[in-house]
Amino acid sequence: MNTFGQRIRNLRVSKNYSLRSLAPLIGVGYTYLSKVERGKLDFGEFPSASLIHRLAVALNADEDELLLLSHKIPETISKRIFEQPQAFLELAQCDSSTINRIVADLRADKLASKLKIKPR
């Protein structure tokens, strides 16, 4: 089972859906949904963006998270990349520890803003 499939299964179980009860809500058969969860699709590793959208709606899940788990770039992210390509080119050159530090700083600034504290 891949991470995407595990996430779908965890969401489904947390919402008390069986494979048979969720499948018609998203327009697929329960055997196909089982293959999605097990990462055993007949063609391709992940379902289409359209099915991921329907899963997100039915499971009240974050569609962007599901798209990223399926190695698809959400439209919200691709728009930002094309708005500021140089920034993303710079980020792509960073090692993991630098990116983690940048993300931690962004989170701290966001929290400070929420709490009305002057950021560093």
* pLDDT interval class at 55 (50, 70, 90): very high
- What crossing angle do the helices spanning 49-59 and 19-26 adopt, rounded to 10°? 120
Place of tokens 């080119």: 89
pLDDT digits (tens, 9 = 90+) for 58-101: 999 999 999 999 999 999 999 999 999 999 999 999 999 999 99
What local confidence, expressed as pLDDT, does residue 119 receive?
A: 55
Q: Are 9 and 37 in contact (CB under 8 A)?
A: yes
Q: Measure CA 90 to chain center.
A: 23
Q: Are 53 and 63 in contact (CB under 8 A)?
A: yes
What value does the mean pLDDT of the chain take?
Answer: 93
Say how far apart CA 118 and CA 112 lie, in whole Å: 6
Mean per-residue pLDDT, 10-26: 98
What local confidence, expressed as pLDDT, does residue 116 receive?
A: 76
What local confidence, expressed as pLDDT, does residue 112 receive?
A: 80
Q: Are 118 and 112 in contact (CB under 8 A)?
A: yes
